[in-house]
Chains A and B, each alone.
Chain A
Amino acid sequence: MNLNSDKFRALWVALISVFLGLVAGAILMALTGHNPFEGYTYLFQGGLMNIERIGNTLATSTALFLTGISVAFAFKTGLFNIGASGQMLMGGLFATAIGLTWDLPKPILLPIILIASIIGGGLWALIPGLLKAKFNVHEVVATIMMNWIAYWTINYTIPAYFKGEYLETESRIIGNNASLRVEWLTDLFNGSYINLGFFIAVAVIIIIAIVLDKTVLGFTLKAVGFNKESAKYSGMNVNKSIILSMMIAGGLAGLGGATFYLGYSSNIQIGVLPAQGFDGIAVALLGANNPYGALAAAVFFGLLHSGKGFMNAMTDVPPEIGDTIIATIIYFAATSLLIHKFLDKITAFFKGGLKK
């Protein structure tokens, strides 16, 4: 294996970013008068201590992974999708609406729900895609705008049509037949919230990795992403590619919505723009826009998210340390050029050493 290949490099950059992020977290804990070893012990225990907690970590990572792959896919094809939050909400809304309206047996209802969530997210991304393709409106602006439209759409739709039994601010709880949780899996993980969503997410990576690497669609979308002009000159339909790429990204985030609102949770709340949409950008960045990299990054972030509560319960380290670590890792991953330089020096040093 070539140790200097790009993929290997990306892995090193990610690992070093994570390490530096953890070091920064430790310094922060020490500065605020806590014992970093104790803090980290509880943080990781909180995420991995027993089978139930492992299940919870995986469940927490699921939506993150799907939004991460959404951002990564768009990025591979030259687009920056900041709208994963809104797409996730709309996917969740479509899925919840169907789950609460149609009373069908689970094996029939679940596929419909999943497809609905993909359509919901896809449609939400179609608008920025169209704006970009037809009027050259930058997708960053358009997707942020769509986030807020999604936010307010939920704010009106949920209380108006799917109002919960006790609270106006959330929808009714979905029935068991619409939930991604299945008994055998919950039992297997000792009552965790792990659900089918995780396995769907893993299947999705494989599909996306294949699409990007082995299909005409992936070839075309990436070509348009790298160089629109050359793609156009070689007869590719650039506008169609942009729209399609946005829709696929949106569909992935929408599916993330279904796994979150019908798997991790069992209803949808108003007044929240899901943070997973933005954390997805971090997942994509740390995963170097590689589907498998995104999976690893999502699991790691899921671990920090699900462990930080336990850390807070067992010590007086504030749970925000978890978010700070994530933020620091993102900084290091974003400034990966420095890490690249560092690696260059190391490689040069060892090569020089061996020659002598």
Chain B
Amino acid sequence: MDYVIEMEKIRKEFPGIVANDDISINLKKGEVLALLGENGAGKSTLMSILFGLYRPDSGNIKVNGELVSIQNPNQAGELGIGMVHQHFKLVHNFTITENIILGREPKGFKIDLSDARKKIIELSEKYNLNVDPDEKIENVSVGMQQRVEILKMLYRDANILIFDEPTAVLTPQEIVELMKIMKNLIAEGKSIILITHKLKEIKQVADRCTVIRRGKVIDTVDVKNSSLAEMAEKMVGREVSFTVNKEKADPKNEILEVKNLNVINSRKVLAVKDFSFSVKAGEIVGLAGVDGNGQTELIEAITGLTKIESGEILLNGNNINHLSIKERINAGISHIPEDRHKHGLVLDYSLEENMVLEQIDNEKYSQNGFLKKDAIRSHAESVIKDFDVRSGRGPITIVRSMSGGNQQKAIVGREIFQNPDLLIAVQPTRGLDVGSIEYIHKRLIEQRDSGKAVLLVSLELDEVLDLSDRIVVINNGEFVGEVLASETNENEVGLMMAGVQKGENS
């Protein structure tokens, strides 16, 4: 057979969870095989086994038909297997060339980069990667960094390339570029395993798709002959709706009012300029804008993380300009932050501890300075139950070991459980699979329907259009305009995001 990789009955258990339950997959030469599954389904574990980061409890791996035992990534490299990780492993103040040869430095006392540089330029041209070998990593875009990771594999003569969620960090244009690159790679005889939960991408580049759910292979399908809905259903285990179902909004009194707000960012630049808008009870307001146009600063000003320069922030009619973060939380603002690892969770704390981060001094969870461990436990249990948070060991799971989707569900659950008047959700579904996205969207709409004000910030225009009742557009820190979601379309909002006023359409 022409299989370059065969993984047979791979089994891997972690405490409390079977990550891979006798999984078998195979990869033909010159094809793109997609591994589709929800967060935490076991895709990354399986690939980590193939790449030598984990050892399987049982099962066989064959490369080019020969039985191998892969003990570490170096051995995987020798077998021609390379991996682009979701989080890049690059040294930021090194040049691209230096990063690529890292670990494969030419021998000798002084490192001679000229040969390496030449090879990199050749590879870059062959695969149309457009990489400047002398640029430093810190000066290049995320998309370029990913291409450096791809070059790193090619430089090491890898023939089997694993991409772990490669599009999670890319802009739409960069995704298009990546798809082209992957096609070039296939044309040159490489074989690719693509780990993803984005169905559209699978449809675009993959030949076959193996669906994994809860550690088991559900099916392997020919992508050409399967619809998106079919694959989604196999992945999630039930029918998935791609459209958001919601009733018409019934907005009431104004919960949040922002008036003439000016915010200066850490680089001492005016990032939010004379910005005014409001969010009413019972509606979802979407803040649309291209990344880095002042959304972050605006949200930080509302939640109290950044001092404002001038202007007014009113919550339920009361000025909250001078309240601390804590006081704003207590006044009824909940915040699902953009970066769950950096801002949302203490990764080394257990799930139950994370669920009370903001409320620990509330008398529900502590008394006279002592923790009420039982109350904390049962609170975590309700969040877990209500928000379907899956983890190895329940409330005492260390959050670091949980999958991204479940971490996010936990945060969303924590914030909603605080019963806020205003729920601020920043990129609430970033990097999540369709099942989790659908779920979180439903919960946000539920909040709206129960009379809460919801402020949604998302870089995904689809999400903003689907969820919001009203859309406020920000460009370069300025208020561009406001449209009703029911009366607009992608085109109009896209133009506004580029700074074109409504109706100014030439």
Name A residues whose Cβ lies closer than 8 Å to a Cβ of B: 214-217, 219-220, 222-223, 226-227, 229-237
Report yes or no: A230 in contact with B371, Cβ–Cβ below 8 A.
no
A223 and B343 contact, Cβ closer than 8 Å, known pairs A234-B357, A234-B358, A237-B326? no
Q: Is B360 an interface residue (CB 8 A)?
A: yes
Q: How far is the CA of A122 from the CA of B161 in the complex (A)?
A: 56
Which of B237-245, B288-296, B345-353 faces chain A?
A: B345-353
Are A220 and B344 interface neighbours, CB within 8 A? no
Contact B342 A230 (CB under 8 A): yes
List A contacts of B344 (CB < 8 A).
230, 233
Select from chain A the residue with minimum beta-carbon distance to B304: A235
> Which single residue of chain B is at the shortest CB-CB distance from A2?
B15
The answer to whether B343 touches A229 (Cβ under 8 A) is yes
Most B Cβ at <10 Å: residue of A215, A222, A233, A237: A233
Q: Is the CB of B305 within 8 A of A233?
A: yes
Q: What is the number of contacts between chain A and chain B, taking CB atoms within 8 Å?
A: 64
Q: How far is the CB of A3 from chain B (nearest CB, A)?
A: 13
A211 to nearest B CB, angstroms?
9
Of A227, A231, A232, A234, the residue contacting B347 (CB under 8 A) is: A227
Interface status of B477 (Cβ within 8 A of chain A): no
Cβ of B95 under 8 Å from chain A: no
For residue A134, give the distance in angstroms from its CB to the closest CB of chain B.
15
CB pair A216 B347 closer than 8 Å: no
A219, A233, A235, A237: the one contacting B371 at CB < 8 Å is A219
Question: Apart from A216-B360, A219-B353, A223-B346, what are 5 other A-B pairs with CB-CB below 8 Å?
Answer: A214-B371, A216-B361, A219-B371, A222-B349, A230-B344
Q: Given A226-B346, A227-B346, A237-B326, A215–B358 Cβ distance below 8 Å?
A: no
Instruction: Give the distance in Å from the alpha carbon of A227 to the alpha carbon of B370 in the complex.
Output: 22
Given contacts A216-B370, A235-B325, A235-B326, are A230 and B360 in contact (CB under 8 A)? no
Question: A214 CA to B337 CA in the complex, in Å?
Answer: 28
List of A residues within 8 angstroms of B347 by Cβ: 226-227
Interface code B323-366, partner A: CB below 8 Å = 1, 0 otherwise? 01110110000010100001111111100010001101100001
- Expressed in whole angstroms, the Cα–Cα distance for A229 and B342 within the complex equals 6
Which 10 residue pairs across A and B have the least CB separation, nearest first? A235-B326, A234-B357, A234-B358, A235-B325, A233-B343, A227-B346, A226-B348, A216-B366, A226-B346, A235-B329
B329 in contact with A214 (CB, 8 Å): no
Write the chain B residue with the least CB distance to A6: B398
Query: Distance (Å) between the CB of B341 and the closest chain A CB?
Result: 8
Q: Which residues of B contact A215 (CB under 8 A)?
A: 366, 369-371
Question: In the complex, which residue of chain A has the Cβ closest to the Cβ of B342?
Answer: A229
Q: Are B326 and A214 in contact (CB under 8 A)?
A: no
Residue of B nearest to A227 (CB): B346
Q: How far is the CB of B27 from chain A (nearest CB, A)?
A: 28
Residues of A within 8 A of B329 (CB): 234-235
Give Cα A222–Cα B371 distance, bound, in whole angstroms: 14
| Selected contact of A232 from candidates B325, B345, B360, B366, CB within 8 Å | B325
CB proximity of A5 to chain B, nearest CB, Å: 10
Give B252-311 interface residues, CB cut-off 8 Å to A. 303, 305
Q: A230-B345, A235-B324, A235-B329 are in contact. Are A223 and B357 (CB under 8 A)?
A: yes
Q: B357 contacts A230, CB within 8 Å?
A: yes
Given A216-B361, A220-B360, A237-B326: A231 in contact with B369 (beta carbons within 8 A): no
Residues in A neighbouring B357, C-beta threshold 8 A: 223, 230-231, 234, 236
A231 contacts across to B, CB distance below 8 A: 346, 357
Complex interface: chain A residues within 8 A of B353 (CB) = 219, 223
Report A-chain residues with C-beta under 8 Å of the C-beta of B360: 216, 219-220
Given contact pairs A217-B369, A226-B347, A232 touches B342 in the complex (Cβ within 8 A)? no
- B335: chain A residues within 8 A (beta carbon): 233
Distance to closest chain A CB from B276 (angstroms): 25
Known: A219-B371, A223-B349. A233 touches B337 (CB 8 A): yes
How far apart sit A144 and B353, CA to CA, in the bound complex (Å)? 34
| 7 A-B pairs in the complex with CB atoms less than 8 angstroms apart | A215-B366, A220-B360, A226-B346, A226-B347, A227-B346, A231-B357, A235-B324
Residue with the highest number of chain B CB atoms closer than 10 Å, among A220, A222, A230, A234? A234
Inter-subunit contact A214/B343 (CB<8 Å): no
Tell me whether B358 and A235 are in contact (CB under 8 A). Answer: yes
Residue on B nearest A217 in the bound complex, by CB: B369
When chains A and B are docked, how far (Å) is the Cα of A227 from the Cα of B341?
A: 9
Measured between alpha carbons, how far is A217 from B366 in the docked complex, in Å? 11
CA distance A217 to B335 in the complex (A): 23
Which residues of B have CB within 8 Å of A235?
A: 324-326, 328-329, 358
User: Whose C-beta in chain B lies nearest to the C-beta of A220?
Assistant: B360
Nearest residue (CB) in B for A351 is: B57
Chain B residues near A214 (CB-CB < 8 A): 370-371, 373
Which B residue's beta carbon lies closest to that of A224? B346
Q: Specify which chain B residues have a CB less than 8 angstroms from the CB of A220 in the assembled complex.
A: 360
Q: Which residues of B contact A229 (CB under 8 A)?
A: 342-343
Please give me the residue from chain B that is nearest to A348 by CB atom. Answer: B55
CB contacts (< 8 Å) of A216 on chain B: these are 360-361, 366, 369-371
B residues in contact with A217, CB < 8 Å: 369
A248 to chain B: closest CB distance in Å? 14
Chain B residues, Cβ within 8 Å of A232 = 305, 325
Cβ contacts under 8 Å, A227 to chain B: 342, 345-348
A-chain residues with CB within 8 Å of residue B324 when the two chains form the complex? 235, 237
CB A1 to nearest CB in B, in angstroms, measures 15
A337 nearest CB across to chain B (Å):
16
Assembly CA distance A215 to B369 (angstroms): 5
Most B CB contacts (10 A, CB to CB) among A222, A230, A237 go to A230
With a CB–CB cut-off of 8 A, which chain A residues contact B303?
233
The chain A residue with its CB closest to the CB of B303 is A233
| A contact residues around B343 at 8 Å (CB) | 229-230, 233
Closest Cβ–Cβ distance, residue A257 to chain B (whole Å): 27
C-alpha gap A216/B353 in the complex (Å): 11
Q: Please measure, in the bound complex, the distance between the C-alpha atom of A232 and the C-alpha atom of B343, giving whole angstroms.
A: 8
Question: What residues of chain A lie closer than 8 Å to B342, measured between beta carbons?
Answer: 227, 229-230
Closest chain A CB from B173 CB (angstroms): 30
Assembly CA distance A163 to B345 (angstroms): 55
Determine how close the nearest CB of chain B comes to the CB of A355; give it in whole angstroms: 9
List residues of chain A with CB within 8 A of the CB of B305.
232-233
